[in-house]
Amino acid sequence: MTGTRHRDATQGSACLMQAFRRALPMAALAVLLLSAAASPTAAGNPHSAFYSPANDRVFWFIHASDIHLGARGSKDSENLQWLVTTAQNTICPSFIVVSGDLTDSTNGNILGYPNGPHQEEWNEYKSIVDPNVTADTYYDIPGNHDAYSDQYFAYYLANSVQGRATGGTQHSWTRNFWFGEYHFLGVNTADNTGAAFSFLPPYYGDHAGLDSTELAFISSELQAHPNAALTLVFGHHPLAATGDPKDTYIYYGRDEFVGLMNSNGASLYGYGHTHDSSESFYTAGMSEGVFYFNVSALGKDSPNQYTVTAIDCNGIASVTQNVNTWPVVLVTAPMDRYLGGNVNPYTYSIPNSPANPIRALVFDTATVNEVQYRIDLSGSWRAMQRTAAGNPAYPHLWEAVWNASGLAPGEHTVEVRATTASGVRTDTVRVNVQGTLAGDFPPPDCDVDGSDLAVLIGNPSLMDISTFAQNYGKNTCP
């Protein structure tokens, strides 16, 4: 699809950005280190996550997909209304990204047969989103149901929030904070032929992919943000076959797209389409890989879900939850070493320190009574406290100091529990505790990464800043 344009946005949702404006920037050692260590040749640095007591480097967003407005017998309009009102006002995300299938293209016909596009569906879509979002807080990208029988995406361009704002089908935006730039990219993986829906395999009228013009836009936008701390990408389709023959995926342009994410340091690819939720790690054709997160449909089939993703000191955390259920609990630090299903290369180990930080986000429409943590799924629950009112993540961020000095080296579990007027919910992460505070000084794991930054923040005498920055992200063993 031609005519794609770049769109930068440095503002988030009103509640979150006002909080960041109130916060006074900390002259944290970590900021200097990561600024000095930034790679000039990549758009993002997946290895930049670090463990720190700094609690003012946290922000979050919502990822939803597959609204299918117009689907017969679904909660499409009800759930979209909830997303852009109750969820947005309660969770206060920096932005919402919706990765395709905004409409169903059936207009509620009894057979559920996509025979659109139907302007009636788009009119209802606009009536819900327009009073509640702006083009700087809501990023809607097309899916296959938005592309059937519409080769040039005329209906998407005339009716979606981003189509009207940018005149394009792919979108690039940033979030800029005092602690760094974060780049986000929405790509159009939908079929470019204008084919109608079909019952015939293997494509079912959905020959998904990325053509040369779309790939050129992606390449240009990735290269335009060489100073981004992290780069996260969203599309409608999975990158490869899921095992279900009815799940179409990116058939053409996939290898080039994966190569661009690999060479430009992307950390995550988030998608929808399958109406299932999963977290895995995609490595095919990549040096290390990307977090590969699939979110279930918001408005069709069951369960109807959405995902909250947070970035805390460049570490990614994610939780998927059913629509209109509370509380939402997400541990943001320490980072889960099993994010993506297996031990991933972008997490950090943590020191066996007597003052290790734990942070978690808690969201609820009702009163939050208490938030607690415990270690290794046993023992007493210990209290966590809300951050001070001046913190940019207040009142959603809770924290505690954890004494890990008595733990044996190896894997341990951190569990956070929130008790609210709505109910009780927990979130759990697994971490690797180092048996020494020395980190890679001398190096036991042969690299200089976020684990070492956590140690260096606690003991700056271990290595001077310039030497650390010069070797950050490199293998330093002979």
pLDDT of 262 higher than 50: yes
In this prediction, residue 42 carries a pLDDT of 65
Region 65-82 average pLDDT: 96
In this prediction, residue 436 carries a pLDDT of 58
pLDDT of 415 higher than 80: yes
pLDDT of 441 higher than 50: no
In this prediction, residue 24 carries a pLDDT of 39
Region 12-37 average pLDDT: 49
In this prediction, residue 25 carries a pLDDT of 41
Region 383-410 average pLDDT: 96
The pLDDT confidence band at residue 74, using thresholds 50, 70 and 90, is confident
Region 402-410 average pLDDT: 94
pLDDT of 452 higher than 80: no
The pLDDT confidence band at residue 32, using thresholds 50, 70 and 90, is very low
Q: Which of 15, 101, 43 minimizes the C-alpha distance to 262? A: 43
In this prediction, residue 457 carries a pLDDT of 63
In this prediction, residue 43 carries a pLDDT of 77
**Lowest model confidence (mean pLDDT) among 32-41, 121-130, 367-376:** 32-41
Query: What does the mean pLDDT of the chain come to?
Result: 89
Which has the higher per-residue pLDDT, 442 or 208? Answer: 208
The pLDDT confidence band at residue 445, using thresholds 50, 70 and 90, is low
The pLDDT confidence band at residue 435, using thresholds 50, 70 and 90, is confident
Give tens-digit pLDDT for 293-313: 999 999 999 999 999 999 999
**Lowest model confidence (mean pLDDT) among 25-29, 231-235, 432-436, 446-450:** 25-29
Give tens-digit pLDDT for 136-169: 999 999 999 999 999 999 999 999 999 999 999 9
Region 76-94 average pLDDT: 98
